[in-house]
């Protein structure tokens, strides 16, 4: 039995789900790597980037803003989000998170249960974190 898992955000494996997506994910912990039922990622939104509209039938999705600012829309409600804000989306609600700031938006995103989110992310194209990503994720920005 595994006693703990460890990952460094700056060296985590990162993926972009689709070539046209404006966000990408650095996987911290998931079922494939850690044998857990949920997924923990750093989600990175390019300037002007957003998630595609989506919803999860069974999973709660949690966002904690690490850096940047944006707008979260759930159903017909919108709210601004910024560093230090936490957002929990309940199952069955269409939502979008959009970067409205002048830098990238970084969130700790957790999906419980995974509901195939890790598999979707891992089916994408591997990407390298850039200098800005490394600086933000290591606290040097």
CATH number for 103: 2.60.120.10
**Residue 99 domain-assigned?**
yes
| Residue 141 confidence (pLDDT) | 82
| 2 pLDDT above the threshold of 80 | no
**Residue 12 domain-assigned?**
no
What average pLDDT does the structure give for the chain? 96
Strand runs (DSSP E) across the chain, as ranges? 14-16, 23-29, 39-45, 60-67, 69-74, 77-82, 86-89, 95-99, 105-112, 125-127
d(CA 27, CA 136): 16
Q: What is the DSSP letter of 36?
A: -
> pLDDT for 27-52, tens place per residue?
999 999 999 999 999 999 999 999 99
**Residue 106 domain-assigned?**
yes
**Residue 39 domain-assigned?**
yes
Percent of the chain whose predicted confidence (pLDDT) is above 70: 99
**Residue 22 domain-assigned?**
no
Peptide bond into 113 cis (omega under 30): yes
Contact 44, 104 (CB under 8 A): yes
Q: Which helix (H) or strand (E) holds 140?
A: none
**pLDDT confidence bin for 82, thresholds 50/70/90:** very high
**Residue 78 domain-assigned?**
yes
Q: Per-residue b/e over 123-135, b at no fewer than 16 CB within 10 Å?
A: ebeeeebeeebee
Least confident of 10-14, 66-70, 111-115: 10-14
d(CA 141, CA 126): 24
- Residues of the domain holding 109: 28-128
How many domains does the chain divide into?
Answer: 1
**Residue 123 domain-assigned?**
yes
| Residue 1 confidence (pLDDT) | 65
Please give the order of strands across the beta sheet that includes 69-74: 77-82, 69-74, 95-99
Burial class (CB in 10 A: 0-12, 13-18, 19+), 96: middle
**Residue 138 domain-assigned?**
no
């Amino acid at each position: 039995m595994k006693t703990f898992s460890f990952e460094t955000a700056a060296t985590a494996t990162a993926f972009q789900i689709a070539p046209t997506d404006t966000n990408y994910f650095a996987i911290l912990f998931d079922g494939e790597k850690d044998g857990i039922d949920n997924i923990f990622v750093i989600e990175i939104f390019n300037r002007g980037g957003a998630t595609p509209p989506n919803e999860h039938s069974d999973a709660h999705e949690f966002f904690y803003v690490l850096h940047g600012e944006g707008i979260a829309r759930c159903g017909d409600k919108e709210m601004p989000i910024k560093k230090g804000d936490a957002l929990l989306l309940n199952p069955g609600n269409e939502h979008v998170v959009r970067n409205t700031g002048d830098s990238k938006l970084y969130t700790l995103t957790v999906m419980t249960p995974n509901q195939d989110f890790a598999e979707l992310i891992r089916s994408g194209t591997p990407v390298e974190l850039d200098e800005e990503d490394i600086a933000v994720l290591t606290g040097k920005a």
